[in-house]
Chain A
Amino acid sequence: MKPILEIQDLSVEVESKKVLHHVNLSIQKGEVHALMGRNGSGKTSLSYTLMGHPKYRVTSGRILLDGEDLAGMSPSDRAKRRLFLAFQNPVAVPGVTIASFLRTSIRSVRGDEVPAKEVRKLIREELAGLGISETFMSRFVNDGLSGGEKKRLETLQLRLLQPKVAILDETDSGLDVDALKAVTSRIESLRSPDRSFLLITHYQRMLEAIRPDVVHILMDGTIVKTGDASLAKEIDEQGFQSIHEASAQL
């Protein structure tokens, strides 16, 4: 079966610094993959590259989304093909209200799929599901929001844009237990045979709520180990050191 997302021999540099080396990763429709690794291992670089950040230059390899090569494609065109990145540290956009941003985004990605008059209803339902007040909509995008509010806003966008492939970059960080529960349950409920996830995380706790089919370990810009959900548990118990040592011996 053709993978929904396929990363083939991907090498990337940013400002002349090599950050990813010959990464291969293949996600089938409906699968949940977890990508784990220490700080600075290249996890966020991979997510930015997948979403087409202009500073991240692909030096070799390719990325296929549903069989289509994403090379040269703008971030907005990738989003329109239903690729989604939930940012670890989403940038603040003072002056742009969340309401205006979400409406423009939904219209851009989903076009006529959601009639204009339905958009507001849809947003209201999703706000309620995430326990967010409607007054939130008049605030500026990520401006003055707490860490937890930012993660909820990213999750809200994930649910509204209905992607085929969602990359969640440390969506669990900075959340208290209750917030983590609310966010993971909304993500888990999106799981379907037509939607795939790449969960980027340091920790096991998010993966207890959203159980992955495959776990990858990224070190120094290279995937050094791939396994099933038990690999995440192993990392949680033993840390990355043993894998680091094993990969160093190869």
Chain B
Amino acid sequence: MSPYSTTTRSTRKNRIESLPIPSRKDENYRFTSLSNFNLQQLNPSIAHPPKTVEPAPEGFQLAACTYPGGLAIALESSSHEGLHLSPFEDAPEAIFQKHRAAFDLPQALDADLFANLSAGRCENELLIHVTEGKKITQPLFLRNFFPSTDQAFYSRTLIILEANAELELAQEFVWDGIESLIQPFACGLTQIVLGPGATLRFSTVQNWNPNTEHFSRTYSVLQEGSQLTLNEVHLGGLKNQTRHLTHFEGRNSQSLHTVTALAQNSQQMDFWIDAVHQGVGSRSDVEVRSIAQDKGQIVFNGKIRIEPTAPQTAAYQKNPCLILSEGAVIRTLPKLEIQTDDVQCAHGASISSVDEDQLYYLASRGIPENTARTMLIEAFKAPGLRGVSNPFTKSWLSKNLALTEEEQ
């Protein structure tokens, strides 16, 4: 057993006790209300492995299924040369020693209650490691399964790609579809470490039970010349608070990050995305596409920080928003912190409803208004596939975004 479980978990459990539940004053970025939030009632569930495990979508290989209190590795590490999949406890000593810091919580998340909750209460952490120079050609699939019988689900995933390694990964967050009176609570932490020249293409779909309170944290470290492509789709949950913190440590490291969020009924979604540039010539491109209808609420709090060590950085954040109902609310809060010259930096937001002139144009070609409206909403969501080249990933994301596949 690695020393991880006896040190980090207990450290983080102690840290949870010292951290207050953040108020809106502490975290002005969010809509999600944490009143009536009782951590004592949210102890980790006893493991209930799913009775049946759905196969991965076409073209993917199921790698692991995480569920409250448990983790099932579906793929033998030996099935792909250079790939290691295991619980943290079974991490090879060499990997653990090399990336010891990553097995703990980074300093930047030390005061983050939800990151501590994941690190302290999750006892089924998943390690994915790809060795130097290895390219895993088959896209892998991770499933986080939250049955209606459980109340709390803590998960943690550490993805490490050594130098020049390559991986295509998809992850879904799903429930069993059975209505229950339990108010589910999901708390997840994902850490990504990309070695020099490594490439990770990572797509996620969050489609929890509509009553779920979901808090996720993703911390990424990008070394020289590494590339991270992230495509996220957020559909489910009652409250959904998602925080990304990316450190562009290495020269010419880059990320392309696209979020598509649909908040309907009374859903609240908060996205807090920070890009911290430390390496020369690094590049971040974040686009959060927000669609709110009914009484849905979405807030995007984006921050670009360019440190003195990172000239020639290019950093962009965009937040196009579509409001489909009068009661829906969208807020965008961009921030720039630039500490060096010779950078390109921009942020922008646009908020609109479905364009009446576009509707009229499509209708003038015989397209019924409802169909025209659907076409325009699909057109708004379609850039959610930005940067996706794998046809299976594209098809899986398209299905979740309810996009009509182009006829050939």
User: Which A positions have Cβ atoms within 8 angstroms of B?
Assistant: 51-55, 74-76, 78-80, 85, 87, 90-91, 93-97, 99-101, 103-105, 108-109, 140-141, 157, 161
Q: A52 — which chain B residues lie within 8 A by C-beta?
A: 363-364
Q: Is B378 among interface residues, defined by CB-CB distance under 8 A?
A: yes
Q: Cα distance A55–B358 when bound, in Å?
A: 13
* Most A Cβ at <10 Å: residue of B365, B366, B379: B366
Q: Cα distance A79–B368 when bound, in Å?
A: 10
User: B68-76, B136-144, B291-299, B369-377: which lies at the A interface?
Assistant: B369-377
Q: B407 — which chain A residues lie within 8 A by C-beta?
A: 99-100, 103
Q: A95 — which chain B residues lie within 8 A by C-beta?
A: 376, 378-380, 382-383
B358 touches A157 (CB 8 A): no
Closest-CB distance, A89 to chain B (whole angstroms): 10
Cβ 8 A contact of B379, one of A78, A80, A96, A109: A96
Q: Cα distance A75–B369 when bound, in Å?
A: 9
Question: Which 4 A-B residue pairs are closest in the complex by CB-CB distance?
Answer: A95-B379, A79-B366, A109-B366, A108-B366
Interface string of B339-382 (1 = CB under 8 A from A): 00000000000000001111011111111110110011011101
CB pairs A–B below 8 angstroms (10 shown):
A53-B360, A75-B360, A75-B363, A80-B366, A95-B378, A95-B379, A96-B378, A100-B406, A104-B367, A140-B379
B365 touches A108 (CB 8 A): yes
**In chain B, what residue has the closest Cβ to A103?**
B407
**In chain B, what residue has the closest Cβ to A93?**
B358
**In chain A, what residue has the closest Cβ to B356?**
A54
Q: Is B404 among interface residues, defined by CB-CB distance under 8 A?
A: yes
Cβ 8 A contact of B361, one of A55, A80, A93, A103: A93
Cβ 8 A contact of B406, one of A53, A91, A99, A108: A99
**In chain B, what residue has the closest Cβ to A96?**
B379
Closest-CB distance, B24 to chain A (whole angstroms): 35
Closest-CB distance, A91 to chain B (whole angstroms): 5
Closest-CB distance, A21 to chain B (whole angstroms): 24
Cβ 8 A contact of B364, one of A51, A55, A140: A51
Q: Cα distance A200–B406 when bound, in Å?
A: 35
Q: Cα distance A108–B367 when bound, in Å?
A: 6
Q: B404 — which chain A residues lie within 8 A by C-beta?
A: 100
> Given the interface contacts A96-B375, A103-B407, does A74 sit within 8 Å of B367 by beta carbon?
no
**In chain A, what residue has the closest Cβ to B404?**
A100
Closest-CB distance, A208 to chain B (whole angstroms): 28
Closest-CB distance, A47 to chain B (whole angstroms): 10
Q: A99 — which chain B residues lie within 8 A by C-beta?
A: 406-407
Interface string of B9-40 (1 = CB under 8 A from A): 00000000000000000000000000000000
Known pairs A93-B362, A101-B365; list 4 more (Cβ under 8 Å): A75-B363, A80-B366, A93-B379, A96-B376
A157 touches B365 (CB 8 A): yes
Q: Cα distance A76–B362 when bound, in Å?
A: 8
Q: Cα distance A30–B253 when bound, in Å?
A: 65
Q: B365 — which chain A residues lie within 8 A by C-beta?
A: 76, 79, 101, 105, 108-109, 157, 161
A85 touches B364 (CB 8 A): yes
Closest-CB distance, B258 to chain A (whole angstroms): 14
Q: Cα distance A103–B366 when bound, in Å?
A: 11
Q: A104 — which chain B residues lie within 8 A by C-beta?
A: 367, 371, 375
Q: Cα distance A79–B364 when bound, in Å?
A: 6
* Most B Cβ at <10 Å: residue of A75, A97, A101, A140: A75
**In chain A, what residue has the closest Cβ to B365?**
A105
**In chain A, what residue has the closest Cβ to B355?**
A91
Cβ 8 A contact of B369, one of A76, A78, A91, A140: A76
Closest-CB distance, A170 to chain B (whole angstroms): 16
Q: Cα distance A90–B362 when bound, in Å?
A: 10
**In chain B, what residue has the closest Cβ to A140?**
B379
Q: B383 — which chain A residues lie within 8 A by C-beta?
A: 95
* Most B Cβ at <10 Å: residue of A76, A94, A104, A157: A76
**In chain B, what residue has the closest Cβ to A106?**
B366
Q: B366 — which chain A residues lie within 8 A by C-beta?
A: 76, 79-80, 105, 108-109, 161
Q: B378 — which chain A residues lie within 8 A by C-beta?
A: 95-96
B357 touches A91 (CB 8 A): yes
Q: Cα distance A2–B402 when bound, in Å?
A: 47
Q: B363 — which chain A residues lie within 8 A by C-beta?
A: 52, 74-76, 79
Interface string of B156-195 (1 = CB under 8 A from A): 0000000000000000000000000000000000000000
Q: A51 — which chain B residues lie within 8 A by C-beta?
A: 364
Closest-CB distance, B195 to chain A (whole angstroms): 36
Q: Cα distance A179–B406 when bound, in Å?
A: 30
Q: Cα distance A97–B378 when bound, in Å?
A: 11
**In chain B, what residue has the closest Cβ to A48?**
B360
Q: A141 — which chain B residues lie within 8 A by C-beta?
A: 361
Q: Cα distance A52–B358 when bound, in Å?
A: 14
Q: A157 — which chain B residues lie within 8 A by C-beta?
A: 365
**In chain B, what residue has the closest Cβ to A75?**
B363
B368 touches A76 (CB 8 A): yes
Interface string of B288-326 (1 = CB under 8 A from A): 000000000000000000000000000000000000000
B364 touches A108 (CB 8 A): no
Q: B380 — which chain A residues lie within 8 A by C-beta?
A: 95
Cβ 8 A contact of A75, one of B364, B375, B376: B364
A108 touches B368 (CB 8 A): yes
Q: A140 — which chain B residues lie within 8 A by C-beta?
A: 379
A76 touches B367 (CB 8 A): yes
Q: A87 — which chain B residues lie within 8 A by C-beta?
A: 361, 364
